[in-house]
């Protein structure tokens, strides 16, 4: 094989990027472009899918030019994407009938409430089948909203004139020819976030389509995460290159971290945190509110599953200390400030800015700083803020542990994983090693791996795992008794935020 590279398209909520990777999984070049955001009403968040497609074509060109390569050097294309965001378009013209409704958009709350009220199971109504609670987060109610609000859309959907896709599906269809024979498919990980997919059979469920009012004729074919879906037809830059890998962003990051097996776990430290813990071929259902999701499926091999938990306020707490309190001028200053004291002076910050999510599920909670004395300085508060990120991650990880999943170590990525003090405390409070890879671009890398595996660019998961190189490892240093005492005090601090509203 002459091609020495794989290109990954990373279509995120705030930016679209294309990254060229070499056989060692090292990024060679990047093209990046912002995604315009539209906020037509409070709680509404939209993207223009045509702008996304144009932006993706542009960044592909930039990445190829910066690497000084052509399509002949690219063995395959992989796609990773913002999940759940819903696009509905006209199959004949390729024009979306409405702007894409983004995962953050909450306009469908009335529909969610009505569906929950109609069942004794409430928001858990479809949880057994889909692994997800009812929420505006997932695609199903977004599709229904578009069909109910765009004139004639429902009739046209039933007549097969329209197509729905998450952003991976939209890009795949356009890359492979659009109206002139584009492939209308999605992968299992993205499909598992629509709330229309049966987690066991990995096919669309007629009863869910009925409940949400989504015609089957609208839906993409569900394929694996790693196979040749088709070849690029519409972008001359990559013409005839196979599109061979698709993974939703969090699943892609887990794959890029080579956390393939049961107990393999990654935590992404961004504005919020995203934790995924692999459960192998077993579908594990969590009572405490973690989502059950498809981790990946390679060709015709059995699917692998994961538990997913997110923490709403982590990196954004550091931004709050900077922007609202003026405690620091730059987020990077948080670490030296926190490191200037040996402990938090007894202070705990619980950033329940919008209530508490998993495992507490308390919308009535609001943030609190507790344990204050005359002794506490801003350095102590800086330290307490970092510790709150680690404590909240333990809250979520303990739910996975309670479901019987043993974690040997935690692989980390994202902006705040640069913070060494935070990473050390995370290891201390979990009692397991925390490990950061050399290549931080784990999301795009995961999509590249899925695509490269399908075309034989990489031979096996073992070969990929061998590419994964450890950048830094933090070993737990806190004695177990102290660890549990600190964690118990955190849990006590959490109780002080409850019943506030």
Which residues bind to ligand ADP, rule: CB under 6 A? 270-271, 315-316, 318-319, 331-332, 334-335, 414-416, 418-419
The CA distance from 259 to 265, in Å, is 6
User: Which of residues 23 and 33 has its CB atom nearest to ligand ADP in the complex?
Assistant: 33
User: Which of residues 118 and 332 has its CB atom nearest to ligand ADP in the complex?
Assistant: 332
Q: Where are any strands of DSSP class E within 335-454?
A: 348-350, 368-370, 410-413, 434-437
Strand partners, 298: 226
Burial degree of 172 (CB within 10 A; 0-12, 13-18, 19+): buried
Minimum distance, C-beta of residue 344 to ligand ADP, in the bound complex (Å): 15
User: Which of residues 30 and 418 has its CB atom nearest to ligand ADP in the complex?
Assistant: 418
Residue 7's CB is within 10 A of a number of other CB atoms, namely: 32
User: Which of residues 176 and 392 has its CB atom nearest to ligand ADP in the complex?
Assistant: 392
State the residue for tokens 């990024």.
27
User: Which of residues 108 and 314 has its CB atom nearest to ligand ADP in the complex?
Assistant: 314
The residue nearest ligand ADP at its CB is: 415
Minimum distance, C-beta of residue 443 to ligand ADP, in the bound complex (Å): 9
Minimum distance, C-beta of residue 447 to ligand ADP, in the bound complex (Å): 16
Tokens of 163: 């197509």
Q: Are 311 and 267 in contact (CB under 8 A)?
A: no
DSSP state of 73: G
**Number of C-alpha atoms within 13 angstroms, CB side, residue 446?**
29
Residue 270's CB is within 10 A of a number of other CB atoms, namely: 14
Q: Are 243 and 232 in contact (CB under 8 A)?
A: yes
Minimum distance, C-beta of residue 352 to ligand ADP, in the bound complex (Å): 17
The CA distance from 248 to 70, in Å, is 27
Q: Are 308 and 436 in contact (CB under 8 A)?
A: no
Minimum distance, C-beta of residue 11 to ligand ADP, in the bound complex (Å): 14
Minimum distance, C-beta of residue 425 to ligand ADP, in the bound complex (Å): 12
Minimum distance, C-beta of residue 100 to ligand ADP, in the bound complex (Å): 19
Tokens of 194: 């629509």
- Provide φ and ψ at 443, rounded to 5°: -65, -55
User: Which of residues 336 and 456 has its CB atom nearest to ligand ADP in the complex?
Assistant: 336
Minimum distance, C-beta of residue 193 to ligand ADP, in the bound complex (Å): 18
User: Which of residues 213 and 270 has its CB atom nearest to ligand ADP in the complex?
Assistant: 270
Tokens of 254: 């887990």
User: Which of residues 231 and 257 has its CB atom nearest to ligand ADP in the complex?
Assistant: 257
User: Which of residues 275 and 334 has its CB atom nearest to ligand ADP in the complex?
Assistant: 334
Minimum distance, C-beta of residue 34 to ligand ADP, in the bound complex (Å): 12
The CA distance from 6 to 10, in Å, is 13
User: Which of residues 231 and 426 has its CB atom nearest to ligand ADP in the complex?
Assistant: 426
Strand pairing of 162-165 and 291-296?
Answer: unpaired
Minimum distance, C-beta of residue 272 to ligand ADP, in the bound complex (Å): 7
Residue 363's CB is within 10 A of a number of other CB atoms, namely: 12
State the residue for tokens 């994407």.
81
State the distance between the two ends of the chain, measured CA to CA, in whole angstroms: 63
**Residue 278 belongs to what H/E stretch?**
strand 273-280
């Amino acid at each position: 094989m002459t091609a020495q590279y794989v290109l990954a398209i990373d279509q995120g909520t705030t930016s679209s990027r294309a990254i060229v990777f070499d056989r060692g999984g090292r990024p060679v070049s990047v093209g990046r472009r912002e995604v315009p955001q539209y906020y037509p009403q409070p709680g509404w968040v939209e993207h223009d899918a045509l702008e996304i497609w144009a932006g993706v074509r542009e960044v592909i060109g930039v990445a190829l030019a910066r690497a000084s390569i052509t399509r002949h050097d690219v063995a395959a294309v992989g796609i990773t994407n913002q999940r759940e965001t819903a696009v509905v378009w006209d199959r004949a013209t390729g024009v979306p009938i409405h702007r894409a409704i983004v995962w953050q958009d909450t306009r469908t709350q009335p529909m969610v409430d009505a569906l929950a009220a109609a069942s004794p199971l409430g928001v858990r109504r479809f949880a057994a089948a889909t692994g997800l609670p009812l929420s505006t987060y997932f695609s199903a109610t977004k599709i229904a909203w578009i069909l109910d609000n765009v004139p004639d859309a429902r009739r046209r959907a039933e007549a097969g004139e329209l197509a729905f896709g998450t952003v991976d599906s939209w890009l795949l269809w356009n890359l492979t020819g659009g109206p002139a024979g584009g492939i209308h498919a999605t992968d299992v990980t993205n499909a598992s976030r629509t709330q229309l997919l049966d987690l066991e059979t990995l096919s669309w469920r007629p009863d869910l389509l009925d409940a949400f009012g989504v015609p089957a004729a609208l839906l993409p074919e569900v394929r694996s995460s790693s196979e040749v879906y088709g070849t690029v037809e519409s972008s001359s830059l990559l013409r005839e290159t196979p599109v061979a890998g698709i993974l939703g962003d969090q699943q892609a990051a887990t794959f890029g971290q080579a956390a393939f097996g049961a107990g393999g776990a990654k935590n992404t430290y961004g504005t919020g945190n995203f934790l995924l813990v692999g459960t192998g071929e077993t579908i594990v259902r969590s009572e405490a509110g973690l989502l059950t999701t498809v981790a990946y499926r390679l060709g015709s091999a059995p699917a692998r599953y994961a538990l997913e938990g997110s923490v709403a306020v982590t990196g954004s707490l550091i931004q709050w200390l900077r922007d609202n309190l003026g405690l620091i001028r730059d987020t990077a200053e948080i670490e030296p400030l926190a490191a200037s004291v040996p402990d938090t002076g007894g202070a705990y910050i619980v950033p329940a800015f919008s209530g508490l999510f998993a495992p507490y599920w308390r919308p009535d909670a609001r943030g609190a700083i507790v344990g204050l004395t005359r002794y506490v300085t801003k350095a102590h508060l800086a330290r307490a803020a970092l510790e709150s990120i680690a404590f909240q991650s333990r809250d979520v990880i303990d739910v996975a542990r309670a479901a019987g999943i043993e974690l040997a170590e935690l692989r980390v990525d994202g902006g705040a994983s640069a913070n060494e003090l935070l990473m050390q405390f995370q290891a201390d409070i979990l009692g397991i090693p925390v490990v950061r890879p050399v290549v931080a671009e784990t999301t795009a890398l995961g999509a590249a791996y899925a695509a490269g595996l399908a075309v034989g660019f990489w031979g096996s998961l073992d070969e990929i795992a061998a590419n994964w190189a450890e950048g830094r490892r933090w070993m737990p240093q806190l004695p177990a008794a102290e660890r549990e005492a600190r964690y118990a005090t955190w849990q006590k601090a959490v109780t002080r935020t409850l019943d506030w509203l």
